[in-house]
Amino acid sequence: STQPSSPVVGIIGSGPAAFYTAHRLFRNDPSIKIDMYEASPVPFGLVRYGVAPDHPEVKQVEHKFTEIATSNQFRFLGNICVGKDIPLSTLSQHYDALVYAYGSSSDKLLNIPGEHLHGVYSARQLVGWYNSDPRHQNVGLSLSRLKDLVVIGQGNVSLDIARIMLSKPEHLIPTDINPLFVQQLYKSALERLHIVGRRDLTSVSFTIKELRELFSLSSAKFLAPQYTSSLQFLSEEALSTFDRARKRLIKLIQSKIKDAQQNPPSSDPLQNPSRSWGLEFGLTPVEILGRNGQVEKVRFQKTETIRNESNSSEDFVEIPAQAVVRSIGYKSVPIPGMQELGIPFDTTRGVILNNDGHIAPGMYVSGWVKNGPVGVIASTMMDSFSTADKLYKDWLAREPFLEGTKAGWDGIRPFLNKPVVTWKDWEVIKGHEIKNGLQHESISEKFRTWDDALRVLHK
Ligand code: FAD
């Protein structure tokens, strides 16, 4: 039989999952046509609005993505929120295949009383604020009144937040961090930052590189746990049951805690940075307490982990805090119209149900909305390759796809009544951001409102 013509593919999202899927599809067949729809006027998802500004090496992937975007077969369509600006059913009429790569736009909740008090933030809000995400510029946290910060959750995002909050502001200026946040940081009254986990020290989710970075800050001192009741150090023998990476991580935490216990900070302010941070274990948040609607402290129930089983005790502790950050994970939500198209969404896990990236005829999924909000850019890449390969293999095998017009964007454009941001437009936006950054010797200053970004395009 003759080779089928190349598919016309619509990708929803423009983060790592979207770009790596596009990259792999082009590698399989350079004649594939790809339209990439992005809700915000700018590309790159969490690489732009999640990854910490002092990790520019991680953001290098943007160069790779930019290379992909230069293909004649590729079209970027920014400022289009699928399901809101254009119905999903309309989109599905003009493509052979759609790839859902829209990440996680919501957050997991603690589901405890007091969670909605003033001063309780999601990690996304805080991270969005310092990364100049226009959706999170009104967090209303005044650092000059913040003495005690509690971060709930022990993953890399918690460490990012701690590191940024404890860094010397002048170290952050050359990055693309929000300059208004840096101004606040100069006035910061922060004294103590606690990173609190439910389980014991063997169960942390952060990685050793990020932890070392925090230990090496000269601007903040590590304190031994103050609220953890059953701190247990593992013997060499007990450690041998863990894999190498985890063993090294546990050993590092244990040795730093032992050090801190033996050398408590002296009271001489000249000898010590005035700021400290610490890790607390075995504490499950049960209530956030406040006064006049403002958070004052967090109440935790002590839990003991014995052979991987957590048992709650009747003991409680309260940690003072003028701000609390819940950093227990992002969460994906369905796009409006998905249910009508018969796309199965698991609302508990926050994922689209799929089989190796395949959902239904012509429907595929990549990234955090495929696997849940876990994994770094590298794992998202490998996984997106596998979705792209599956799509292309199905196409060659003449599996059923969407019965689309193959018109792609030309079929969609008449339905849209708002300005679209093309790749050229994005490059104009980026040029302005770099120019604005020069004024204070930073690599870039991102626009903090979508209006400001669109204004330079005269749209
Ligand atoms: P995303 O990057 O979230 O991209 C999804 C895109 O889809 C977004 O641009 C969104 O606007 C868009 N979208 C959403 N809904 C719609 C819609 N309806 N229509 C159109 N577009 C839509 N990994 C590392 O390797 N190193 C790090 O240092 C690192 N730091 C991180 C820090 C933080 C705070 C976070 C949260 C994550 C970090 N990660 C890091 C992980 C990394 O960001 C993720 O693995 C990766 O971004 C997931 O890619 P994705 O494409 O699935 O989702």
Q: Which residues pair with 351 in a beta bridge?
A: 346
Interatomic CA distance for residues 120 and 325, integer angstroms: 6
C-alpha span between 302 and 227 (Å, rounded): 9
User: Ligand 1 centroid vs 26 CA: distance in angstroms?
Assistant: 21
Token output for 47: 């690489």
pLDDT of residue 229: 85
At which residue do the structure tokens 């020069």 appear? 438
Token readout for 285 is 């948040």
Contact, 229 vs 280, CB < 8 A? no
pLDDT at 359: 98
Q: What is the pLDDT along the chain (459 residues), one digit of tens a residue?
A: 565 699 999 999 999 999 999 999 999 999 999 999 999 999 999 999 999 999 999 999 999 999 999 999 999 999 999 999 999 999 999 999 999 999 999 999 999 999 999 999 999 999 999 999 999 999 999 999 999 999 999 999 999 999 999 999 999 999 999 999 999 999 999 999 999 999 999 999 999 999 999 999 999 999 999 999 878 899 999 999 999 999 999 999 999 999 999 988 776 666 667 899 999 999 999 999 999 999 999 999 998 766 666 677 779 999 999 999 999 999 999 999 999 999 999 999 999 999 999 999 999 999 999 999 988 999 999 999 999 999 999 999 999 999 989 999 999 999 999 999 999 999 999 999 999 999 989 999 999 999 999 999 987
453 exposure class (CB count in 10 Å sphere: 0-12, 13-18, 19+): buried
No. of helices (H) and no. of strands (E), the chain: 17, 19
pLDDT confidence of residue 264: 81
Ligand 1, atom 39, lies closest to the CA of: 376
- Measured N-to-C along each axis, helices 16-28 and 377-396 cross at an angle, to the nearest 10 degrees, of 40
Could you report the predicted ipTM of this complex, rounded to two decimals? 0.99
Whose Cα sits closest to atom 30 in ligand 1? 51
Ligand 1 atom having least distance to the Cα of 378:
25
| Nearest CA-CA partner of 290 in 99, 114, 110, 60 | 114
Q: How far is the CA of 13 from the centre of ligand 1 (A)?
A: 9
Distance 86 CA to ligand 1 centre (A): 21
In the reported structure, the alpha carbon of residue 47 is separated from the centroid of ligand 1 by a whole-number distance in angstroms of: 6
**Atom 31 (ligand 1) nearest CA:** 51
What separation, in Å, do the N-terminal and C-terminal C-alpha atoms of the chain show? Answer: 48
Ligand 1 site, CB within 6 A: 12-18, 37-40, 45-47, 50-51, 55, 58, 81-83, 101-105, 127, 157, 160, 330, 335, 367-368, 375-377, 380
Q: Which of 21, 23, 24, 46 for mutating ligand 1's site (highest number of atoms within 8 Å of CB)?
A: 46
Ligand 1 centroid–CA 233 distance in Å is 36
**Residue type present at position 104:** S
Identify the three-state secondary structure at position 16.
helix
380 burial type by CB count under 10 A (0-12 exposed, 13-18 middle, 19+ buried): buried
Q: What span, in angstroms and rounded, lies between the C-alpha atoms of 151 and 256? A: 20
Q: What is the set of domains in the chain, with CATH numbers?
A: 8-106+331-421 (3.40.50.720), 110-328 (3.50.50.60)
Hey, what are 375's tokens?
């994994």
The beta strand positions in 197-293, using DSSP E, are 220-223, 275-280, 283-291
